[in-house]
A = this chain, B = another copy of it.
Amino acid sequence: MTTINSVKVHDVRFPTAAAGDGSDSINKGDYSATYVELTTDGPHTGTGFTFTNGRGNEITCAAVRALAHHVEGKNLGELFDVNALRSLTADVQLRWLGPEKGVIQMATGAILNAVWDLRAKVEGKPMWQLLAELPTAELVAAIDFRHIDDALTPEDAAAILDKGRVGLEDRLAQLRSDGFPSYTTSVGWLGYPDDKVRALTREAYAQGWRAMKMKVGGPIEDDVRRARIIRDEIGPDALLMMDANQIWGVGESIDNMARLAEFDPYWIEEPTHPDDILGHARIQQAVAPIRVATGEVAANRVIFKQLLQADAIRVMQIDSCRVAGVPEVLAELLLAAKFGVPVCPHSGGVGLCELVQHLAIFDYLRVGTSLDGRMVEYVDHLHEHFTDPVRTRNGRYLVPEAPGYSSDLKAESIAEYSFPDGPVWQ
C-alpha cells in the first residue's frame, strides 16, 4: 500500500501573453499550471495540475494547500470512491467557496488528477489503460451521482460501461494503428495578423490537418474576413470550427452565425456565457445544422447534465482539470454517452493535450465506443516541458504508452518557470 506523505504545489507560469499565443476575444494570458506533486513512501510521485491563465495562479495554489489535508497521510487505496471525492468537494467549510465551481473545483481537480496519476504509475499503466481495464463496479463507485441522478443513475452508468467491454480490443488495435483524430487551433488566434493566419493554415493543411479552428468574436467583419482566408486555404471538404470564447449575447450569437454560415462552420464553440443553459439551447435551435459546442469552462457535471437535457449542445467539450479531476470527468463522459452526444475534449493551454488524449481514448474504448464526430483539440504549445509529451502524426494523436497521466513536468522546467522566483520571471 502506497501512502501519500505530502502535497507539494508549484506556481509555474510560461510567458505566452507577449507573443499573442492563446489570445482570443476574452483571454490574453500567460499559460500557467498549479502543479501538484504527491510525495509517497514508495518509488512513485503522483503529479497533477490545473491550468490557469497567468495572474491568479497563486490563488489556485492557495486552494490546493487548503484542500491538501484530505489526501495527506492517506493510503492510496482509500482515495477512489465517492466518499473520498466528497471529502474534497463537500468540505463543510471550503464548499462555500464554490460550490463545485471555479477556483476550489480547479484545485480539487489538480489534486485528484495527481491521485489518479499516482495509481496509474503504481499499476504501471497509462491512464487510459488503467481506466479501460477497471471493473465496472469500481468506475461506478468513483462517481458522485448526487445531483445528476435525474439524468444518469448508477445502473445506467454500469450498463454503458459493461457494454463498452465488447470490441474493446479491436478498438484499441485500431487506435494503435491509426491514432486518434484531432483538429488544430494553432492557425487562427485573434492576436495573429491575416498573413500569419494564411501561412499557418497552409502549413497545417500541408501537415495533414483536415479540421481547424478559428477564433471569432472580434468585429464581425474581421471574423468574416479571417473565415474567408481559412476556408479559401482548406477548400470545401475540410472542417472549419469557430470559437467565440463566450463573448456574445444570445441574440448576438444567432445574428453573427447567420453571417458566418456561408463558410460552413462545423461548430460554433462557446457562443455565450458558459452558465447559460437556456441561452445555448436557444442558439442551438436557431443555428442548426451548425452544432453548438461548449464545456471548457463548464463548472461541473450539473452544468453538463443540463446542457444535454436541454439539447443545448451537439458537441460536448470536456476539460481535464477545470472539474474535480478524473472522477468528475467519468461522470461527464457517461452523461454524454447516455444522451448520444459526441465528446471532443478541450485542449491547449499547458499540458491539456497530454491529459485529454487519455480521456478521449478511454471514452472510445469503453464509453462512447465510436470515433464518429470525435476529435481531440491540438495546440502546438509547451509540449517540450513534459517528460511524456503528446505525439501526433498526420493530424492524429498516437496512443501514449508510458505509465501515468502524462502529467509530469520536467524538473528543469518547473525550476525555470516557477513564479515569481524562477529565472524567466527575474
A interface vs B, CB < 8 Å?
A: 17, 26-30, 52-56, 58-60, 62-63, 66, 90-106, 146-147, 149-150, 246, 249-251, 272-279, 282, 297, 299-300, 302-303, 305-306, 309-310
**Cα–Cα, bound, A211→B66 (Å):** 38
Instruction: Show 28 residue pairs from A and B whose CB-CB distance is below 8 angstroms, ordered by the A residue.
Output: A26-B90, A26-B92, A26-B95, A27-B96, A28-B92, A29-B93, A29-B96, A53-B93, A53-B94, A53-B95, A53-B97, A59-B59, A59-B63, A97-B102, A100-B273, A100-B275, A101-B101, A102-B103, A103-B103, A146-B249, A147-B249, A147-B276, A150-B249, A150-B251, A275-B303, A276-B305, A277-B278, A277-B306
**Cα–Cα, bound, A26→B299 (Å):** 19
**Which residues of chain B come closer than 8 Å to A279, judged between CB atoms?**
147, 150, 302, 306
* B249-A276 in contact (CB<8A): no
**Which residues of chain B come closer than 8 Å to A274, judged between CB atoms?**
99
**Cα–Cα, bound, A90→B245 (Å):** 12
**Which residues of chain B come closer than 8 Å to A66, judged between CB atoms?**
55-56, 58-59
Closest to A55 in B: B93
CB distance from A352 to the nearest CB of B (A): 13
* A101-B102 in contact (CB<8A): yes
**Cα–Cα, bound, A99→B275 (Å):** 9
Query: Which of B98, B273, B302 is within 8 Å of A102, CB to CB?
Result: B98
* A310-B246 in contact (CB<8A): no
**Cα–Cα, bound, A246→B103 (Å):** 20
* A299-B278 in contact (CB<8A): no
**Cα–Cα, bound, A251→B100 (Å):** 21
Closest to A252 in B: B149
* B101-A150 in contact (CB<8A): no
**Cα–Cα, bound, A276→B305 (Å):** 9
**Cα–Cα, bound, A219→B387 (Å):** 50
9 new A-B contacts at CB < 8 Å, known A26-B99, A59-B103, A59-B104? A30-B93, A53-B93, A58-B62, A59-B59, A62-B62, A101-B102, A150-B249, A278-B309, A279-B306
**Cα–Cα, bound, A303→B299 (Å):** 13
CB distance from A272 to the nearest CB of B (A): 6
Query: Which of B90, B246, B273, B300 is within 8 Å of A275, CB to CB?
Result: B300
**Cα–Cα, bound, A303→B278 (Å):** 10
Closest to A150 in B: B250
**Which residues of chain B come closer than 8 Å to A60, judged between CB atoms?**
97
**Cα–Cα, bound, A66→B62 (Å):** 13
**Cα–Cα, bound, A282→B95 (Å):** 25
* B27-A95 in contact (CB<8A): yes
**Which residues of chain B come closer than 8 Å to A99, judged between CB atoms?**
26, 246, 273-274, 297
Query: Which of B91, B275, B278, B282 is within 8 Å of A310, CB to CB?
Result: B278
* A306-B276 in contact (CB<8A): yes
**Cα–Cα, bound, A174→B91 (Å):** 44
Closest to A28 in B: B92
CB distance from A85 to the nearest CB of B (A): 15
**Cα–Cα, bound, A332→B302 (Å):** 22
**Which residues of chain B come closer than 8 Å to A100, judged between CB atoms?**
273, 275
* B93-A97 in contact (CB<8A): no
CB distance from A111 to the nearest CB of B (A): 14
**Which residues of chain B come closer than 8 Å to A59, judged between CB atoms?**
59, 62-63, 66, 97, 103-104
**Which residues of chain B come closer than 8 Å to A303, judged between CB atoms?**
275
